[in-house]
Every structure is written in structure tokens, then in C-alpha cells.
Structure 1
Amino acid sequence: MDQEFGGDVVGFYHRYRRGYPAAVFDTLAAEFGLRPTDVAVDLGCGTGQLTCPLADRVGAVLGIDPEPDMLARARRAAAERGIGNIGWLLGADADMPALQAVLGARRVGCVTIGQALHWMDHGRLLPELATLLRPGGGVAVLTNGTPLWLQPSPWSHALRECLERLLDTELTRTCGTDEPTQRAYREAMAGAGLAVRDTRLTYRAELSLEEIVGGVYSAIPAGRLPSPARRPGFSSRIERALRPHAPFVEEVEVRMLLGTTSSGTSSGTV
């Protein structure tokens, strides 16, 4: 990723990227039979939004990300919360064969990928992950809502129009939340020999203008992030475009593709 999300982006990412509801971790624990002796892997961990809560459900978690600045902030977040059973590794999806050499085959309770699989070669990766899993373990591919500028609300439409003018580009990337991409993920998981279940939960959230602007900054590659001197003007233009459409209510859908090894059992639906 070549520092696309390093530097100042990391602070915005940590502060404004929402965490996952507790029900997500209940589902992972039940689906994969997580236990205190398990090791979990959070691939593309960012600043630890999945990694830190997951640590409460297993013996140890390994958070992996290709961005050193993301890992440094994640390590700080874990320390601030007094979490001592997470290890942090600079790496990417291409490093999974080496990870198996370290951990051994069939040793991992679960691998989580939170809205990051679109950066990875999922066709190659998912079969490699399947070889890491203990019997009954699994892979969880999670999304945590669609991008702020691609939602079916007037304020989201206004945000998209404003950003396309400011950034002089068309905003079409869904970060893997669109149905064709999700279907490709499901097919790849099934092709890796996993039994796949698609489950979802939804909640409503009302955002402030600050949270929307911060969320935008968290998604801009470091090389395109406005300089500190330009950010007040950039933010003001977004705020002016959105104010007529207040309140800024978001319908968040958390989607979980749960791929379990053949000896695992399904635990129902969420």
C-alpha cells in the first residue's frame, strides 16, 4: 500500500472510524467456538477497531497491517486499554505462507478481515487462510457500512457532489461493500473449502459535521490529504454543502461473511 494511509491519515482513522457492535464479537465467538486457548489473526488491522475487542475472546491476537503508522497507533490503543495479549506484525496478505511457517498449520481459531479485503488478492489469499485454521475455526470478512458518500440519503448525495468537486474525481469505490464483490468473496471462500454463512445486523447512528469530515479525511490517501493549512477551507466547504440536509442519520449495516471449516457448526442467525 506504500504509505497510502500513513501520516496524518492515521489520526483521523483512529478517531473517526467507527468500531464494531458487541454483537459482532458474540457472533464470531459462537460461530467459530472461540476459546481462551485460541490464537486469532486480524489481517489489515488498521488501528485496532477489530483487534482490541477480539482480544477479550481468545488467548492471543496477531494484528497485521502493511502501514507502520497504523500499527504504531494500534499498539498505543491497546496499551491505553490495558490489553496485553496482542502482537503487532508489519505485513500483508502476501505474507500468509510465512505466517503458517511460524504458527504451524491448523492452529488459528479465526482470521478476521474488516473492510480491507478489497486491498488484497482474495482469490489467492482465502485458500491460504483456510490452511491456518483449526477444526471448527473460520474466516470472517466484515464490512461496517457503506462509504459516507455512497448512501441513499440527501446528505450523502450532497457530500458526494461536494467531494467530487473538491477532489476533481468521480467517487465510485465501494470498499468491497457492493453485492458483486461480496458474491465474489463468498465464492472464493466456498472454493477454499469453507462453509459460508452471510449474516447482517443494522443500527442507526446520527453523525455530527465533525464526524463526517473526519470520516472523509480517514479515507483519503496520505498523498491527497489536504495540507493542515488547507483543511479549514476544505472542511468549511463540506459543512456548507451538508448543513441544509441535517440531521445526518446513517443506517449502518454490518455484514459478516463467515466461512467455517467443515467440522464447524453453524450457530444460527443474527
Structure 2
Amino acid sequence: MSSPGELFASGASHYARYQPRYPRELFDFLAEAFGLNGTQTALDLGCGPGILALPLSRLVARVIAVDPEPGMLEEGRSIAERQGVDTIRWRRGDSSDLRALGLPPLDLCVMGRSFHWMSREQVLADLDGLVNPEGGVVIVATEPAGTVWSRAVDEVREAYRTLPGGGDDGSRPELEESNREVLRRSLFPRVTAAHWTYRIDRTLDEVIGLQFSHSSFTPARLGGRKDAFERDLRTALAGISPDGRFEQTVRTEALTATRRHRGLRPG
């Protein structure tokens, strides 16, 4: 089975450019919830090109951004350099054994679109030995609302998925237990949720580029079918939006998990 890093390898630049950014309110919330004042150390585990790490870096002293895919890290470094951000340490690494990474004590660990790929129970157990007593873990997820145009895109995507029995198509694994339930069984059992809803406007080219950021439809995975995939997407979307604008409502959720008694690490 392909690793998450391999699945995203050829989609790194598309991911960095087209995946939706998190709302400013998320970072205001994190600052208040964890008292972020520019002195803390945060870990962005499964950081990709830094969609969480880059804005978070403005609230803490340093961010350690870890991802298994070199292409994602290179995209993140490039963006950070353009933005003048020099407080992020970009590190290639895997979530399977955080202890091997030699991480310093952490005040916060954030995970975006990565937690579902991990051995969630083991990652949380490892984080218990790394996150300071007053710190915690935050899982951030984004869910776009269905629209006429997104359903048209889904129909094209479905037609290009690997046929049954043809092997892994890179789709996100189905989870038998929700992230909230896994967190509640961990050593970070105090779980609260915060939500924000906002609108994203995209052009036709941005909608197309977004599809190449998904692990099932990266250019390398599509191979010789890439041009046909793009052509079929454009055909499906033609006429849905005469002005070439595609609106979508997006909901972001942050699950904040802390120890039952903050300040005391179970032991």
C-alpha cells in the first residue's frame, strides 16, 4: 500500500496552491485556548506545504513541520521564504515513531488533513510523552458543502477511479471510529469542538487545479489519463457557471484535546 507521502508526491504544488486556507478565526481561537504569546513550540504533524504551519508560526516562537514527502516540504520552504518566515523547521519524518525524531518538549501539536492516515492511538500515546502538561492536541478538518458543480466533479472523479480489484486508488481510508472518540480514549480526553463556516470563490482553473491536489487524482496517479481527466472536468462544468465562478460554503472544525487535569501529565 502506498504511503501518504507517495500518494501526494506529484500533487504537492497543486496542494500548496489550491487547497483552501483555514480561516483567521481558527488561529485566534488557538491563541486564546493555549495562551499563545510568541514563546511556544508547536508541532505540525503531517504538515504538507504548511497550510497550518505558516499562519501558526506568527503566534509561537517556532513550529516544527514534519511530513514524509520531500516535495511537500520543499513547497513549504519555498512559500515560507517568499513570506519572510524563518521560524519553521521543516523536517522529513513519519508519524509511526515520533520518539525517533528527537523532538523538543511541545506546547501544542496540530494536525490537519493527516490524522486519518496515521495510527491514531499510537500517535496520541507518543504525544503524551512530548506535549507539556498545559498543552494539547488539535485536529483540524474542513468539509465543503455539496453544490451542483461539486457533484458534477464527483461524477467525473468516480469515472476515473481505479476499477474494483485494481489496487489502492489513494482514497482516504474509512475510519471505524471517529477522531473525537479516539481522542476521548486517549490521554488527552477533554475534547471540545469549535466550528467556522465561510465561503470560497474559485475560478474554473482553480477547480481543476484542486482536483490534482487530491491523492487519488495527482498527475502521477492519473498518468496518461491526466489530459482526458481535465478535459472531462471542463466539459462537465461548462454551462454550470456562465461567468466561470464557482462558489462553495466550507465548514472548518477544530477538535481540541487536552489532559483531564491540565498541568498534570498522567503517570
TM-score tier, shorter chain, comes to 0.7 to 0.9
Find the residue that maps to 1:5 and give its secondary structure.
Answer: helix
Q: Is the 1:135–1:262 contact (alpha carbons within 8 Å) kept by the matching residues of 2? A: no
Instruction: Indicate yes or no: 2:100 matched with 1:131.
Output: no
- Please give the alpha-carbon distance, in whole angstroms, between the structure 2 residues aligned to 1:154 and 1:174: 22
Residue 141 (structure 1) shift: 0.4
CA distance in 2, matches of 1:209, 1:69: 25
Which residue is equivalent to 1:36?
38
Q: CA deviation at 1:98?
A: 2.1
Alpha-carbon distance, 1:165 to partner:
1.9
CA distance in structure 1 between the aligned counterparts of 2:125 and 2:143, rounded to whole angstroms: 26
User: Match for residue 72 of structure 2?
Assistant: 70
TM-score under structure 1 length normalisation: 0.84
Q: TM-score, normalised by structure 2?
A: 0.85
Q: How does 1:219-230 map to 2 (within 5 A)?
A: 219=214, 220-221=217-218, 223-227=220-224
Within 2, Cα distance between the matches of 1:127 and 1:102?
15
SS at match of 1:48: coil
Deviation at 1:46, TM superposition (A): 0.4
Change in Cα spacing, 1:222 to 1:236, as seen in structure 2 (3 Å) is: closer
Distance 1:222 1:244 in 2: 26
CA distance in 2, matches of 1:125, 1:167: 30
Deviates more, 1:89-98 or 1:250-259: 89-98
Shift, 1:221, TM fit: 4.3
- Alpha-carbon distance in 2 for matches of 1:50, 1:64: 12
Cα drift, residue 236 of structure 1? 2.3
2 CA distance for matches of 1:263 and 1:78?
36
Q: Secondary structure at the match of 1:4?
A: helix
Match for 1:188: what amino acid?
A: V
Q: 1: distance between equivalents of 2:6 and 2:170?
A: 19
- C-alpha contact 2:7 2:170 (8 A) present in aligned 1: no
Q: Give the count of matched residue pairs.
A: 251
SS at match of 1:57: coil
Aligned partners of 1:32 and 1:260 also within 8 Å: no
3-state secondary structure, aligned to 1:24: helix
CA offset at residue 24 of structure 1?
A: 0.8
Give unpaired runs (5+ residues) of structure 2: none
1:253 aligns with 2:251: yes
C-alpha displacement of 1:174? 7.8
Q: Residue 208 of structure 2 aligns to a residue in which SS?
A: helix
Instruction: Rate the CA distance shift 1:222–1:90 in 2: closer, same or farther, 3 A.
Output: farther
1:243 corresponding residue in structure 2: 238
Inter-partner Cα distance in structure 2 for 1:133 and 1:112 = 11
CA distance in 1, matches of 2:117, 2:223: 23
Distance 1:231 1:188, change over 3 A: closer
| 2:95 alignment partner in structure 1 | 93
Q: Give the AA of the match of 2:195.
A: R
Deviates more, 1:159-168 or 1:201-210: 159-168
Q: CA deviation at 1:29?
A: 1.3
Change in Cα spacing, 1:130 to 1:222, as seen in structure 2 (3 Å) is: farther
Q: Which amino acid aligns with 2:128?
A: A
Q: Report the Cα offset of residue 94 of structure 1.
A: 1.1
Deviations 1:65-111 (A, max 9, x none): 00011111111111111111110111111131224x542xxx21110
8 Å contact from structure 2 (residues 18, 213) kept in 1: yes
Q: Which sits farther off after the overlay, 125-134 or 23-32?
A: 125-134
Instruction: Please state if 1:215 is matched with 2:192.
Output: no
Deviation string 1:197-247 (CA, Å, 9 cap, x unpaired) is 0111110112221111111001124541345xx644432210110223225
Q: Does 1:205 align with 2:200?
A: yes
Distance in 1 between residues matched to 2:238 and 2:140, nearest whole Å: 31
Q: Secondary structure in 2 aligned to 1:109?
A: strand
Alignment correspondent of 1:268: none
1:141 to 139, 144, 147: 139
Instruction: Tell me the equivalent position of 1:19.
Output: 21
Of the three residues 2, 9, 14, the one matched with 1:6 is 9
Which of 82, 85, 95 aligns to 1:83? It is: 85
* Contact 1:6 1:222 survives alignment (8 Å): no
